[in-house]
């Protein structure tokens, strides 16, 4: 019984972590629309949370013909879609 409870708590913690990352990506994207100093503490925290996720996606998109010459960074959109799909698995009954 204790192992099942631990599994549920672990999956809930992972679901919460995914939500924090999703909201961090959204806030970072919104913050990029405003003239904010790179030394701003909020920007620094959001950058440290999101850059390990966005950087590999950005590199993969740069290799495609779609985003090769694009001015818009599509990596937050792709990251949110991937995280949305992953977090959807935590909503199915077999996890709880």
Direct distance between the N- and C-terminal alpha carbons of the chain, in angstroms, rounded to an integer: 13
Residues in the chain: 96
Distance CA 54, CA 78 (A): 9
pLDDT confidence band for 96 (50 / 70 / 90):
very low
From 7-11, 39-43, 75-79, 89-93, the region with the lowest mean pLDDT: 89-93
User: Do residues 22 and 49 lie in contact, with contact meaning Cβ atoms separated by under 8 Å?
Assistant: no
Nearest one of 18, 22, 42 to 32, comparing CA atoms: 42
Q: How many domains does the chain have?
A: 1
User: Model confidence over 22-53: pLDDT tens digits?
Assistant: 999 999 999 888 888 878 898 889 999 999 99
pLDDT number for residue 3: 62
More confident residue, 7 or 82: 82
Domain range spanning residue 33?
2-95
């Amino acid at each position: 019984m204790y192992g099942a409870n631990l599994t549920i708590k672990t999956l809930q913690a992972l679901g919460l972590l995914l939500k924090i990352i999703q909201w961090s990506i959204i806030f970072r994207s919104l913050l990029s629309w405003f003239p904010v100093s790179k030394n701003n503490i909020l920007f620094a925290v959001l950058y440290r949370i999101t850059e390990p996720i966005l950087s590999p996606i950005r590199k993969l998109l740069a290799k495609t013909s779609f985003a090769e010459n694009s001015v818009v960074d599509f990596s937050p959109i792709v990251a949110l879609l991937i995280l949305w799909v992953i977090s959807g698995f935590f909503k199915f009954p077999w996890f709880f």
